[in-house]
Structure 1
Amino acid sequence: MSDTCCAPILGIDAHAHVFSRELDLTTARRYTPDYDAPLATYLANLREHGLSHGVLVQPSFLGTDNSYLLAALQQAPEQLRGVVVVERDISRECLAEMDRQGVVGVRLNLMGKALPDFSEPLWRSFLAHVAELDWHVELHRHVEDLPALIHDLMPFGIKIVIDHFGRPDARLGVDQPGFREMLELGLNGQVWMKVSGIYRLAGTERQNLDFARAALPLLEQSLGARRLVWGSDWPHTQHESSVDYAGATRQLQALGCSAQVMRLLLIEAPQALFGFALKEA
């Protein structure tokens, strides 16, 4: 998508979801929301916390029906970008239309699913389309499986975005299987990391935060701070009772980032990855 954003960038939330409980949910789902997460509430959260722009990610329980997300993008095209979930056989024309609507990537939510074989012809064709559009592929999978997935995606020359620190188990520390290997693969410049969902890292609140604090300098060393982005993960599905938007921002502050790194996380890195025009207040 061409840069059409003209609003000043105060900060970019790189990962959030919008949905309504009235929507048709996919049969194969791990979670069913009993509340609405409308765009108006999300935009209010951004304003309240000094942010201006956001990236909406298709939630798994809506499957490949991206209509609600696309409608949200149309309501605030200067402020928002989108990441969709689609079938591999989707046409190049459909992807191009989504690109015009503000979509910048596809999400592969592989939690609880069989690992894909990217050498299959259908995958190769699909990933070639993604590369032509200069989109990214977002991976959501536990960290032990990420190195193999990243390795197999690299030949396609696409940007690879990892969800939520790679979904490690905070209790196992930074030397757990997969984490160091993931960092090594990040040295080639294709891998980006979402510094998000700290509360999803399987430990206590203290263990999760300690892991994130230990992991951040390692990520800066391997990927570089210019390939790290922060996301609120609003509305914190399955963790709504313990986390809200303010809590997610407090976890970010608790990482103790310097002002320079914070600027990279919230403005410069997501601006480059998601294609926002950089105009500051």
Structure 2
Amino acid sequence: MNRRSFCRDLLAGGLALTLPARAQAEDPVRIDTHAHVFTRDLTLAGERRYAPDYDASIADYLAMLDRNGMTNGVLIQPSFLGTDNSYMVSALKREPKRLRGIAVLAPEAEETAMRDLAGSGVVGLRLNLIGKPDPAFASPVWQAHLARVKALGWQIEVQAEARRLQALLPPLVEAGVPVVVDHFGRIDPALGTDDAGFAQLLGFGAGQRVWVKLSGAYRIGKGEDGARHASAAAARLRDAFGVQRLVWGSDWPHTQFETVATPARALSDLALWIPDAAERAIALGRTPAQLFRFDA
């Protein structure tokens, strides 16, 4: 099966999970906090590491949520679309109660534009710093930007290698905004939980302003290595942060890993990372409902 046909079958739902009715009844709120929507005909950012050759449409995503037993979803602006958040916003306007969004903006973005996004269901910004330098958070432009983010009650999501988090997170925490770290903190696949940056990330568990996403195990190691790293990392993150500051995301449509991942597998992995059903309900429901303002 080639990559494009695999993606088509995945989006069509042939590889999804059907949840027992009892599980759905016990966990009335189940939130997928990390996914992307896009189509091939959208204008791509000039600087990008990846360009999709298939569509992951709004309709596809909503259908996937239904099949995977999710009541709500959070859409993350994909980096290859840059700061043009319009397609994601169209999804939020289509399902204002069911969806929330995390946008990508330049620090020079005007307050009116940010307020418009907030009115459409955007609840935060993403900093995807893979392949990019650390932002100059101490500069006047960034200080003003972070003040606008705080005034809106938004969060900031960070995707960066674990070794960089010790420098990246403190300025954001000090700015008074909630910070969400993507994909287990992007620990080094060669080091796993021995990554010194991961140990530093655990230190932020003592505070109350940092959350971590259990998502995209394939981004921290190939095959069994990724599974092993994710299981070990999840256990240590639970100890350091408590389950109340962990959330889960499908990472749909698993960009660059479409042939090795499915939403069903992502959900079954969560049961391994958080074996206790009551704790899983917190990570799937109570915590993300508050963090992404579904209860607002």
TM-score by length of 1: 0.93
Change (3 A) 1:9 1:67: farther
SS of equivalent residue, structure 2 residue 196: coil
Contact persistence 2:162–2:198 (CA under 8 A): yes
SS of equivalent residue, structure 2 residue 193: coil
2:271 is equivalent to residue 259 of structure 1: no
Instruction: Tell me the CA shift for residue 9 of structure 1.
Output: 4.5
Paired position in structure 1 for 2:128: 109
Paired position in structure 1 for 2:24: none
Deviates more, 1:61-70 or 1:239-248: 239-248
Paired position in structure 1 for 2:184: 165
Residue identity in the other structure for 1:227: R
Instruction: Tell me the CA shift for residue 68 of structure 1.
Output: 0.3
Which consecutive residues of structure 2, in runs of 5 or more, have no partner in the other structure?
1-26
Among candidates 229, 233, 238, match of residue 247 of structure 2 = 229
Contact persistence 1:10–1:50 (CA under 8 A): no
Among candidates 177, 182, 192, match of residue 201 of structure 2 = 182
Which consecutive residues of structure 1, in runs of 5 or more, have no partner in the other structure?
1-7
Paired position in structure 2 for 1:246: 264
Instruction: Tell me the CA shift for residue 116 of structure 1.
Output: 1.1
Paired position in structure 2 for 1:277: 295
Matches within 5 A, 1:43-58: 43-58=62-77
Change (3 A) 1:93 1:145: same
TM-score by length of 2: 0.88
CA distance in 2, matches of 1:13, 1:266: 7
Paired position in structure 1 for 2:15: none
Paired position in structure 2 for 1:4: none
Instruction: Tell me the CA shift for residue 256 of structure 1.
Output: 4.9
RMSD between aligned alpha carbons? 1.4
Instruction: Tell me the CA shift for residue 216 of structure 1.
Output: 1.6
CA distance in 2, matches of 1:117, 1:17: 27
SS of equivalent residue, structure 2 residue 158: strand
Structure 1 residues 235-268: Cα deviation after superposition (integer angstroms, max 9, x where no partner) = 0000111112222223223325211221011101
2:219 is equivalent to residue 200 of structure 1: yes
Change (3 A) 1:217 1:247: closer
Residue identity in the other structure for 2:55: D
Structure 1 residues 61-101: Cα deviation after superposition (integer angstroms, max 9, x where no partner) = 00000000001100001100000001111111111111111
- Following TM superposition, where does structure 1 have runs of at least 4 consecutive aligned residues deviating by more than 3 angstroms? none
Matches within 5 A, 1:11-50: 11-50=30-69
Number of equivalent positions: 270
Among candidates 76, 90, 103, match of residue 71 of structure 1 = 90
Contact persistence 1:198–1:208 (CA under 8 A): yes
Contact persistence 1:209–1:255 (CA under 8 A): no
Among candidates 234, 238, 244, match of residue 216 of structure 1 = 234
Paired position in structure 2 for 1:5: none
Residue identity in the other structure for 2:181: I
Residue identity in the other structure for 1:152: P
Structure 1 residues 27-53: Cα deviation after superposition (integer angstroms, max 9, x where no partner) = 101001001001111111111111110
